[in-house]
Structure 1
Amino acid sequence: MTDWESGQKPDWDSKSTSPSSAIKEPESRRDWKLIEKLVMSLQSEQRKSRRWGIFFKLLTFFYLFAILLMFKFPFSSSLDSATTDHTAIIEVNGSIASDADASADNIVGAMREAFENERSRAVLLRINSPGGSPVQSGYIYDEIKRLREKHPDKKLYAVISDIGASGAYYIAAAADEIYADKASLVGSIGVVSGGFGFTGIMDKLGVERRLYTAGENKAFLDPFSPESESEVNFWESVLATTHEQFIDQVKAGRGDRLANDERLFSGLIWTGEQAVELGLVDGLGSASYVAREIVGQEELVDYSRRGSPFKELLDQFGVSVGSGIVDQIVESRLELR
């Protein structure tokens, strides 16, 4: 007779397993495994978080260190201790602007160093620029004149490579002589200023312009307001005045070498070969040709001042991404062309 039949309760000894514990034990093991996985996952996430935190701290340190070096050493130059006779060369590349490599500060500083070095037999400005700021070009032009007067025995030559137009030719006109390749682009003696008018688009979109000023001309040439004939006439007079200043400086620099051709100051651009015929250029040749055949000192030493390599590295990392685009959108700058 079984215990059940006798009415007695079954005797579960210590080695036997009750039905309830048999069910709870597997569930308990699963719970602990889930908890263990959760803890391991949290630990893994914490380790990853610490690694990224260290990475970003190092990156921030790198940026700060690079910025400090950039301010302490703002310029780099390939100029070594030029202790032997040589021809000094200074690069004028790209747009002529205060925040560019071809700024007045960079070029003027390099020219002063080149003129003051007793071992430099002449100074070459190698130009590859479409122009830029009339103010920056004017600074460089005036400094060339001053340095030529201060060092009358040392000549300055302008050598145009691909293009020497507008403000770049303004600078070249101050040199003793100008040389270019037969296919170079030379000239574009004029002034340009441009913008956009958005009034038509605003009308179509139903946008109302609200502008509050103190001073009747404070909103001068506002692109979101209808064009005013009196404002346009005034601005054209400003451009004409700047153009006359440009023409006067070119005539002062080139003198009677200029051909009597009314197209010279019309804003047209010429090849180097045409520019020789018009008196805009003295001859055809490269920087090496001028150093070897004209100066008589073939060795070239670069005095150019360029942006700090740390600044260039920061730019590559994207610190200055879009700044040029923003400048073009926000302001319409007067340029020599």
Structure 2
Amino acid sequence: MDNQDNKDPSALEALTDNLAHALLEWELSKREERRWLTLKRIAIAIGATIFGLIYLAGLAPNLFSTEATEPTVAIIDVVGGIDSDAAASARKLVPVIERACEAATTKAIILRINSPGGSPTEAERIMAAVERCKVQKPEMPIDAVIEGTGASAGYMIATAADQIIANRYAVVGSIGAVLSGLDASAAAERLGLSERVIASGPLKATNYLFTENTPAQTKALQEVVDGLAREFRRQVEASRGERLKADFPDLWSGRIWTADVAQQAGLVDQLSVLEDYLKASYPDLKVHNYRPRQSMQERLGIEASVRDGVTAAVAGWLSPKLQ
């Protein structure tokens, strides 16, 4: 009994320490496991959220579709400059026109235009979509309502409609073409700079920034602009027909007019705001706005926004514009 009662207390302390150490390690390992489990759960939740966003944005664009379910007038906005990268581009507007035209509920289409002009090639593609819709549904009216500005390529698109209506305070016209560029040749000469240009022909290298155009180059560019203007004029004449006052002063000068003068020239059929025109022409139809469907990148807000400014500027200088 004495031997048991007089055991070395240090051994008992060591045993206690070992047990406490083991318990501590066990607790730490459990905490580590719980932490990793929490991190895994967070990672899974984030991954599921990202996947869900991608699915909703790219794979299920119609999930929140608000297509019309009753007879409607389809409103399609043509707003801002007309260009391949703009909101008023053929890439965005042609599918909208096709979607509105194919909808069984669409009984009329109105192009709501507020545009100063832009690319004639983009405008032509948009007009072609309107013409295809006319073939597809010849009985369905397609009108253009100009709000603010319907000039140049913006007016060109309007000519594809059956009727052109304009706000009284709108400006209309600017029938013609423009090809612009910067001439810094004088500044380069003062700085002692010269530009080396090796071209395959005398008319190949035109509108270069630091090299002044020759008379022959300027003449060639003027012929291009005049050709575009003639084509624009033919489009207006064919579309407006007898409504157009061909002898109206300065009709083909490239100027713009207020809506009332444009009506006198035969460029516009009626003066009205959109709401009044809708009530007068389509009193029994609901209004439905058709808009471009966003891509997955646009929906997630990760579409590239950085572009090469120099390249874009050069392309802009060399591309004819209807403005």
TM norm structure 1: 0.72
**What secondary structure is seen at the aligned counterpart in 1 of 2:172?**
strand
1:43-92 CA-to-partner distances (Å, cap 9, x unmatched) read xxxxxxxxxxxxxxxxxx9xx98997799379899961311111101010
Q: Distance in 2 between matches of 1:231 and 1:288?
A: 50
Q: Please, which of 170, 190, 203 is the counterpart of residue 176 of structure 2? A: 190
Residue 119 of structure 1 and its aligned partner are, at CA, apart by 1.2
- 1:295 corresponding residue in structure 2: 282
Distance in 2 of aligned mates of 1:235 and 1:67: 50
Larger radius of gyration: 1
Give the distance between the partners of 2:268 and 2:64, measured in 1 at CA: 29
> For residues 325 and 94 of structure 1, what CA distance do their matches in structure 2 show?
22
Q: Distance in 2 between matches of 1:140 and 1:275?
A: 23
* Counterparts in 2 of 1:324 and 1:83: CA distance versus 1, 3 Å: farther
Does the C-alpha gap of structure 1 residues 208 and 323 become closer, same or farther in structure 2, counting only changes over 3 Å?
closer
Match of residue 173, structure 1, among 159, 177, 190: 159
- Seen in structure 2, the aligned counterparts of structure 1 residues 119 and 67 have a Cα distance that, compared at 3 Å, is closer
Amino acid at match of 2:260: E
1:139 aligns with 2:125: yes
Q: Give, in angstroms, the shift of residue 151 of structure 1.
A: 0.9
Residue 161 (str. 1) matches residue 108 (str. 2)? no
The within-5 A match list for 1:62-101 is 72=58, 80-101=66-87
Deviation at 1:310?
5.0
**Inter-CA distance 229–305: structure 2 relative to 1 (3 Å threshold):** same
* Offset of residue 335 of structure 1: 0.5
Distance 1:242 1:79, change over 3 A: farther
Letter in 1 for 2:151: A
1:1-337 map, 5 Å: 72=58, 80-259=66-245, 260-305=247-292, 307-308=294-295, 311=298, 314=301, 319-320=304-305, 327-328=312-313, 331-332=316-317, 333-337=319-323
Aligned-pair distance for 1:146? Answer: 2.5
Change (3 A) 1:124 1:221: same
Identity %: 33
Question: Aligned in 2, Cα 1:209/1:217: closer, same or farther, shift over 3 Å?
Answer: same
Give the superposition deviation at 1:118. 1.7
Distance 2:97 2:305 in 1: 28
> Does the 8 Å CA contact 1:76/1:306 hold for their aligned counterparts?
no
- Hey, what's the Cα distance between the residues in 2 that align with 1:169 and 1:66? 43
SS at match of 1:235: helix
Structure 1 residue identity aligned to 2:72: H
8 Å CA contact retained: 2:173, 2:257: yes
2:315, 2:55 → 1: CA distance? 30
Secondary structure of 2:280's counterpart equals helix
Question: 1:213: Cα distance to partner?
Answer: 3.5
Q: d(CA) in 2 for partners of 1:195 and 1:66?
A: 47
Larger deviation, residues 70-79 vs 170-179: 70-79
For residue 265 of structure 1, give the secondary structure of its aligned residue in structure 2: coil
Structure ranking higher on relative contact order (CA contacts 8 Å, 6+ apart): 1
- The answer to which of 293-302 and 77-86 deviates more is 77-86
- Quote how far apart the aligned CAs of 1:239 are: 0.6
Supply the distance in 2 between the matched residues of 1:227 and 1:75 (Cα, whole angstroms). Answer: 50
5+ long unaligned stretches in structure 1: 1-60
Of 222-231 and 188-197, more deviation after overlay is shown by 222-231
For residues 148-189 of structure 1, the C-alpha deviation after alignment (integer angstroms, 9 at most, x for no partner) is: 122111010100111110001000011000111111011111
Name structure 2 gaps, 5 residues minimum.
1-46
Q: TM-score, normalised by structure 2?
A: 0.75
Cα RMSD of the aligned pairs, angstroms, is: 3.0
Question: Which secondary structure does the structure 1 equivalent of 2:129 belong to?
Answer: helix
Looking at structure 2, the residues matched to 244 and 70 of structure 1 have their Cα atoms a distance apart, in angstroms, of 48
Q: Secondary structure at the match of 2:75?
A: strand
- Partner secondary structure for residue 86 of structure 2: coil
Paired residues of 2:116 and 2:152 also in contact (CA < 8 A)? yes
Aligned CA distance change for structure 1 residues 168 and 331 (closer, same or farther; 3 Å): closer
Are the equivalent residues in 1 in contact too, given 2:58–2:296 (CA < 8 A)? no
State the number of aligned residues. 273
